[in-house]
Amino acid sequence: MLAITNPKNIIMIQRIAVFCGSNTGASPKYSYAASKLAKSMIKKNIELIYGGATVGLMKILADEYLSADMNITGIMPKFLKDKQIYQNGLTRNIQVNTMAERKQKLEELSDAFIAMPGGFGTLDESFQILTNGQLGMHQKPLGLLNVDGYFNDLLSFMDKMVEEKFLKSEYKNSIHVSTDPEKLLKLLETPLPQVNGKWF
């Protein structure tokens, strides 16, 4: 689903895919941020699209949505579902065959994306969204919920990509970053800047 804009040129977001850890991390700040993000999205009547698991930060997001009786879609490959880590009681529980299919579904069904602290899977999902946007395959925004500076080093590395001319600064600057969920949701409503092609 493509995000649409209204006459005020604000993106109307109905569904957000959240990428986050299948663990809760070393600090309770991550769990608190996941809960706060879910509550902020619920307040704006935004459907949650996520990996469908009942572990880690994903479980915290799902629990908030289930408690509020809000629409929530989980997308999980069969081999993970067989491990019995899938969340029951979701509005929609979509089974796919591979991780690649999962990422494709997450992208197709969502109007925008938020990455929270996580590991390889979170980065993989986030960078696929960024790459596909860079190639003109969608115009959907991605935001980083930068809990306790978790993404600071990653953002610094992106600055290095720009400095060494492997990345246009416009693409790096199109990533919305905030430590506050409500502010991040507001930033996601801002239309992405137009960039004249991927290549220099």
Q: Does residue 4 or residue 95 have the better pLDDT?
A: 95
| Domain extent listing, the chain | 27-154+167-188
pLDDT tens digits for range 69-108: 999 999 999 998 888 788 999 999 999 999 999 999 999 9
Q: What is the 3-state secondary structure (H, E, C) of the chain?
A: CCCEECCCCCEECCEEEEECCCCCCCCHHHHHHHHHHHHHHHHCCCEEEECCECCHHHHHHHHHHHHCCCCEEEEEEHHHHCCCCECCCCCEEEEECCHHHHHHHHHHHCCEEEECCCCHHHHHHHHHHHHHHHCCCCCCCEEEECHHHCCHHHHHHHHHHHHCCCCCHHHHHCCEEECCHHHHHHHHCCCCCCCCCCCC
Q: What CATH class is the domain 27-154+167-188?
A: alpha beta
Residue 53 φ/ψ, nearest 5 degrees:
-90, 160
Tell me the per-residue pLDDT of 44-65, one tens digit each, with 9 for 90 and over: 999 999 999 999 999 999 999 9
Name the token pair of 32.
């608190």
Task: Determine the pLDDT at residue 183.
Answer: 98
Measured distance CA(140)–CA(10) in Å, rounded:
13
Pick 105 or 10 by higher pLDDT: 105
pLDDT band at 197 (very low <50, low <70, confident <90, very high): confident
